Structure 1
Amino acid sequence: MIRHLLLTLSSTALLAACAHQPSSTAKTHEWPLYGHDYSNQRFSPLTQIRRDNVDKLVPAWTHQTGVKATFQATPIVVDGVMYVSLPFNHVLALDAKTGQSLWKYEHKRNKDWKMCCGPANRGVAVANGKVYIGTVDARLIALEAKTGKVVWDINAVCEDVVTEGIDALHENDPLSRERVSGGTGIGIAMAPTVINGKVIVGITGVGYGLHIEEDRPDAPLGAVIGVAGRYGRPGFLAAFDANTGKRVWQFDTIPTEGWEGQFTPTTPDGIPLNRDLDKERATFKQYQDAWRFGGGSAWTTPAIDPKLGLLYFGTGNPSPQMDDVSRPGDNLYTVSLVALEIATGKIRWHFQQVPHDVWGYDLASPPVLFDYVQDGRHIPAVGQASKTGWFYVHDRATGKLLKKSEAFVPQSNLFAHATKEGTRV
């Protein structure tokens, strides 16, 4: 049985006891940004749907897309039009009241490009009379909001991308003696955001290494198979001119100098990481160019503070993902909350939740902005959920850790390393 994607209308709200809802110039009945506004709180001030009537909701309309794939996008609603990105980066414009199709953009992928992470994406951005979408083949495209016609179409990854082969595996990896095909595909999963005439977007797929290819058409790359070797590349977040697509700045998530950090034995909040620091320091000279293969994807749409002129985003895991032999050090700025200057892309501060990650504890949730109340003072803060089960609250301007929540899940052997006998994490 063929399952088609259904688009339905719903209402959600994010309520935080320590937060004051940010003011917004958007019309209350619209959803103009991925997180509703730059705070990423996804809070709507609408009051028609309440606790006492939410059980009476029924679908207003349904639109069949005909796409047989997973759907992750947040629809954008501006001036009565709903803009929806579909799997494989097709875009629909619908009448928000009736669901009637106004136009459709059909994306044509580069034929030889490999998808790292499936065909789904998180959504579009709408501004300046244009609709912006990042694609699974690492392109950034601007469409006319009224017609869906292409205004410009650029490659977000400006250099030639080499898909890794089996020779990228470490010589001691048993898989290097097998017949294996596949490689890392670089793409864009996040919904872009637009601020001060700039389209902000980041790339994904840089931290996985070799994959298995499937024979069926449009199949995403399969499970990671290479666990040692020199594959991958640095991730980045970049700003592009909203009118022309010209690259304004680019922040690489792996610095060319200082990427090894301080060989930190604990997390920033003092939890031991059980690292063999002597061994890492001993191999540093051999792998001092590990930044070239460093990983650090940018998965989620940044939160933005226009007053401070800063944006905040989380980074992915280092590469190789599991075998850490070839990447001694802290692997900056992977698994970090990073604050950048909107105008220049220069880093203002960072907080690395897990230095030298080998567990896949990357930052997969969008940062959220709110006012944190401490000793009667309202401090502009940024919050970041963690795969380790804690929620971190930081001073937005300095990055100072203001609060670490109680654990949301039981913690046991959180930073234990794998053993031949098996280790429960």
Structure 2
Amino acid sequence: MNTILIKGASIVNEGQIIVADILIKGGFIEKIAAGISEPGATEVNAEGLHLFPGMIDDQVHFREPGLTHKADIFTESMAAVAGGITSFMEMPNTVPNTLTQELLADKYKIASEVSLANYSFFMGASNTNIEEVLKTDPKNVCGIKVFMGSSTGNMLVDNEQVLENIFKEAPILVATHCEDEQTIQQNMAAFKARYGENITVDMHPLIRSAEACYKSSSMAVELAKRYATRLHILHISTAKEVALFDNITPLKDKKITAEACVHHLWFDDSDYATKGNWIKWNPAVKTATDKDAILKGVLDGHIDIIATDHAPHTIEEKEQPYLQAPSGGPLVQHALSALFEMYHQGKISLVQIAEKTAHNVATCFEIEKRGFIREGYWADLVLVNLNDPYKVTRQNVLYKCGWSPFEGQTFQAEITHTFISGNLAYQRGKFMTNEIGKRLQFNR
């Protein structure tokens, strides 16, 4: 690996912003100081730019294997790197579902050959694979994913005894998608009785309702407290759910943590009128009151992490009527840009962005030597020009699916450089694909 010297960056890290140089050798940060000199190093002039620890996205769906007409690990990791995401954790609802250790190993093999970003993959749980779940290695797998709401294939875990066994015996962090399936089905039946096939997308948050989310999330929290499970609840979408979580410090002592996603911080139900199925997600985008409460929860420590739930579908799929259009959308290329836009709007600080997208993810998942700008840590770094506006268009999105819910949006900040494990992987629109990302390791 090359020796790289980043000069004069405004470093955003661990609650402060300082101007300094960073020397990178062998993939690691060797020195952070002012006025570093290193003959022979490749110099990067970062004056006027802000340097962040790379975002660690703890929830993506990159669709490989089995759904590669929508996305694949290479294309989506490339979009992620362009968006300042240096590491990702990918979900098990691919085809086939990742329900055995052998299928999990297959995904790691693919990533080891093509992923531009660092990577980890969740082991999936079902009603019938507890033996496979318990074989998961805490040292090199990010966690176990439990869908407590409908999902692809055989991944809905609705057997109460199985859920109890998972929460009681899981060797590592359990991450949950919480929506009560029975409540959703009852709501859907009521809407179909009234509207037939003419249900529209603005009804989505009423069908996949706040009550469905809270009923499932509160059940997960109760189980975790009963069995002292390390629980992480994904994509909180309601104000009521925020109250389920504590703002315990230090974070490393917190047993039950939560994640907010960019789309639940940005959109609300008034946007269905213009965005339609492009913002159809599960859990649903809900009210402005919910959006504001989620942001407040992020800022006051009740919600610990900001992620994307990147889940691409094709344009043709999303253009179908509401009942046929799948839920999910692509976000990794624009997540940090959206957060920086919120910074310009006075809603969140730069140090809070670093905390919620990098520091806290590394702490919650106990990731080894990543998530902070520290000497001796892997150099996963992102340079940002906070005042270089660009407009999102269908022509400049990098996702394989070819669209973005942010189309038409002008963002004030742009990613200029992304360093993956000490390798300059992206610079002002150009990718360096000579190095592949690393498999994440965990201090467990």
Q: Same fold (TM over 0.5)?
A: no
Give the TM-score taking structure 2 as reference length.
0.28
| Structure with the larger RCO, 1 or 2 (CA within 8 Å, 6+ apart) | 2
Give the TM-score taking structure 1 as reference length.
0.29
